């Protein structure tokens, strides 16, 4: 046991002073850490915790107890747990302990300096060692108590939120007012569901950071009308619902996500009103995500369901998809980087109204390059540009969003 026996008298001398020290510390704490920074109903618990901690330090010092073996008082532990459940930062708690240590040291050093016939410097140094050991032990213990309760509370709260979200999406007889209260999200307005995920190569802290930053970019880029709803859908994915009004153009979001350099993909559902719109937007965001995953590296960073709906719905019969692509594109439907390049050129060419110059500008290549590629498409692969361009563009879209359709054997 650490030897602090020469300080026992200090502990006894502090006993009649603890009430005044406690009152003073409560007052100072309320000034430096206002009740506004914590929930109002926690003020009484904070005062009780301060009183309990002051009494504990005096008792440990007066009875020569090794401070490295002391645990936090029950009331102080309960206060830390309550702070954790309310989401109050741990720094608020630790700052209060720092204030308490200062007040106790001030009083104890005053007692030492007022006592003649002792080595003041030696006693003060010993007191500082005691205080450092005690505070380190207390902060460590309280930190573990706080974090454990915070993790437990977040886990249970997240589980409850997931249950309510599942009911909203699947239950025909869900209690909507109760769900709104539990989720802190109103359903009597427009909604836009958004899927955000990272590639499998991004894990751990990097994935968490990327998802959180992307979430803020999405909320900022889209015209939201209030606080959104967020739910984790995996280690590297989350889903959010944003309250919105009207259609949501995705161009600005695409530019911002690309500029951020974040390793994320985003899929937007279709905007919808009320609970039916909430459900439909969720389904469509999931379909857009499935489509983006299917497209692999060719998918853009942001995929809006409204822009790809026909291809997002083509998942029921992969054999039919392959047959349709083969009928429209013939050998050009095969695999390989060259065929993929030619298909992309043809897609842009048809989008630009069969204009060589506009296609060249869109692809940032020379006009002669476009002419050469189109000539290969028509002569080598036998594709006639005089036929129904809708069939061609539809088949090209399938190749882009369902690349397996061009490589399947049927």
Q: What is the CATH number that goes with domain 318-406?
A: 1.10.10
Range 185-312: architecture per CATH:
2-Layer Sandwich (3.30)
Task: Give the pLDDT confidence score for residue 160 in this predicted structure.
Answer: 82
- Please enumerate, as own/partner, the contacts of 186-190 that have beta carbons within 8 Å and a separation of 24 or more: 186/226, 186/243, 187/274, 187/275, 187/278, 188/274, 189/225, 189/226, 189/243, 189/245, 189/273, 189/274, 190/225, 190/243, 190/244, 190/245, 190/246, 190/271, 190/272, 190/273, 190/277
Band of residue 248 on the pLDDT scale cut at 50, 70, 90: low
How high is the pLDDT of residue 87? Answer: 74
pLDDT in tens, 124-140: 999 999 988 888 888 88
pLDDT-derived band at 38 (thresholds 50, 70, 90) equals: low
The reported pLDDT for the residue numbered 410 is 42
Q: Which pLDDT band holds residue 388 (cuts at 50, 70, 90)? A: low
pLDDT tens digit sequence for 311-328: 877 765 667 777 778 878
Q: What is the pLDDT of residue 98?
A: 83
Strand partners, 268: 194, 304
- 184 DSSP assignment: T
* Average pLDDT over all residues of the chain: 85
Q: What is the DSSP letter of 1?
A: -
Report which secondary-structure segment, H or E, holds 173: none
Mean pLDDT across the stretch 152-165? 80
Nearest C-alpha neighbor of 405 from the set 274, 241, 286, 294: 294
Contact 291, 401 (CB under 8 A): yes
Predicted confidence band of residue 365 (pLDDT cuts 50, 70, 90): very high
In the predicted model, is pLDDT for residue 265 greater than 90?
yes
> Which of 145-149, 154-158, 191-195, 355-359 is least confident?
154-158
Q: pLDDT (tens digit, 9 = 90+) per residue, 53-81? A: 899 989 999 999 988 888 888 888 888 88
Query: Which residue do the tokens 């809708």 mark?
Result: 390
């Amino acid at each position: 046991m650490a030897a602090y026996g020469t300080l026992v008298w200090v502990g006894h001398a502090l006993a009649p002073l603890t009430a005044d020290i406690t009152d003073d510390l409560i007052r100072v704490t309320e000034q430096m850490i206002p009740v506004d920074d914590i929930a109002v109903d926690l003020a009484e618990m904070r005062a009780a915790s301060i009183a309990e901690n002051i009494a504990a330090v005096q008792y440990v010092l007066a009875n020569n107890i090794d401070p490295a073996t002391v645990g936090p008082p029950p009331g102080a532990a309960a206060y830390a747990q309550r702070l954790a459940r309310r989401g109050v930062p741990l720094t608020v708690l630790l700052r209060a302990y720092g204030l308490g240590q200062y007040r106790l040291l001030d009083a104890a050093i005053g007692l030492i300096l007022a006592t003649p016939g002792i080595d003041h410097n030696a006693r003060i140094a010993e007191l500082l060692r005691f205080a450092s050991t005690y505070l380190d032990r207390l902060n460590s213990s309280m930190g573990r108590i706080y974090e454990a309760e915070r993790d437990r509370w977040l886990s249970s709260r997240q589980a409850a939120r997931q249950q309510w979200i599942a009911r909203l999406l699947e239950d025909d007889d869900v209690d909507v007012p109760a769900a709104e209260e539990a989720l802190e999200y109103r359903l009597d307005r427009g909604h836009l569901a958004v899927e955000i995920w990272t590639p499998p190569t991004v894990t751990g802290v990097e994935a968490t950071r990327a998802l959180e930053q992307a979430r803020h970019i999405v909320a900022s880029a889209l015209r939201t009308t209030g606080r959104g709803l967020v739910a984790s859908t995996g280690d590297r994915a989350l889903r959010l619902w944003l309250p919105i009004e009207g259609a949501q153009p995705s161009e600005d979001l695409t530019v911002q996500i690309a500029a951020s350099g974040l390793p994320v993909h985003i899929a937007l559902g279709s905007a919808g009103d009320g609970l039916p719109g909430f459900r439909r937007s969720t389904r469509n965001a999931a379909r857009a995500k499935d489509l983006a995953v299917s497209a692999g590296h060719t998918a853009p960073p942001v995929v809006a369901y409204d822009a790809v709906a026909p291809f997002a719905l083509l998942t029921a019969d992969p054999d039919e998809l392959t047959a349709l692509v083969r009928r429209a594109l013939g050998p050009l439907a095969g695999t390989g980087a060259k065929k993929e390049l030619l298909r992309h050129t043809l897609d842009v060419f048809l989008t630009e109204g069969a204009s060589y110059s506009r296609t060249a500008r869109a692809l940032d290549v020379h006009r002669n390059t476009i002419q050469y590629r189109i000539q290969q498409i028509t002569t080598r692969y036998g594709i006639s540009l005089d036929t129904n361009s809708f069939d061609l563009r539809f088949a090209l879209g399938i190749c882009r969003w369902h690349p397996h359709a061009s490589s399947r054997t049927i």
